[in-house]
Structure 1
């Protein structure tokens, strides 16, 4: 379920949706805020162009919205049953959403790309690996 060939593998490991080898984003660390949305234009391994059409990733905004709403609802339910007052709950949700924004943005793009691009185990690498 989480192995190579599944969409979850591509999303969690920041890999190309087609070959599951090349990196999707230039930097794997979402905390490097200057590079949070810097994507490779093509897969370094199979050459897949990530942005299928101009403004392709505008659709990822809907995925990001769903992720943040889901996170907010889960946080609200947990904190409500702990017994916190509403103002504290809403402040906690706001802080949580601000802290997780870089991760949410990246996950939304990876999920959106994986909706439209499917794994192909037979895809060939652009170049042969270097031999040491």
Structure 2
């Protein structure tokens, strides 16, 4: 189990990178498409602003490319090497994986991006 205070905790759970107490997103479910990328303005616990500057999360597009490649590689390994599917079937497995996991990939990329610029502060966490 990943504990609070670790960047990986904030990345995987989408919590405030400073206090790890509140979700950054207005809706926890990434599959509510209209709310997938809606980020709260600030943390209600530590008052950390999530948008450090206008268009801050544009940088996460570069991260999402890498995360998407990771998901695609796993889909290929599972379909082609484990299940012995053809290359054509593996290609469709990769496309399907990227479509199904796109909301999660986008959120993970944003979580990684903001955690590159902010660190956990133990004094801000709830006791």
TM-score normalised over the length of structure 1: 0.88
- Aligned residue for 1:3, secondary structure, equals coil
In structure 1, the partner of 2:115 is: 114
In structure 2, the partner of 1:98 is: 99
Q: RMSD of aligned C-alpha atoms? A: 1.5
Measure the CA separation in 2 of the matches of 1:91 and 1:53. Answer: 38
Larger radius of gyration: 1
Give the drift of 1:74: 2.0
Deviations 1:9-44 (A, max 9, x none): 112222100011122000111111111111101111
Unaligned stretches of 5+ in structure 2?
none
TM-score normalised over the length of structure 2: 0.91
In structure 2, the partner of 1:128 is: none
Q: Aligned residue pairs: how many?
A: 125
Measure the CA separation in 2 of the matches of 1:14 and 1:79. Answer: 29
Query: Is contact 1:22–1:46 with CA below 8 Å preserved after alignment?
Result: no
Q: Which runs of 4+ in 1 moved over 6 A?
A: none
**More helix by percentage:** 2
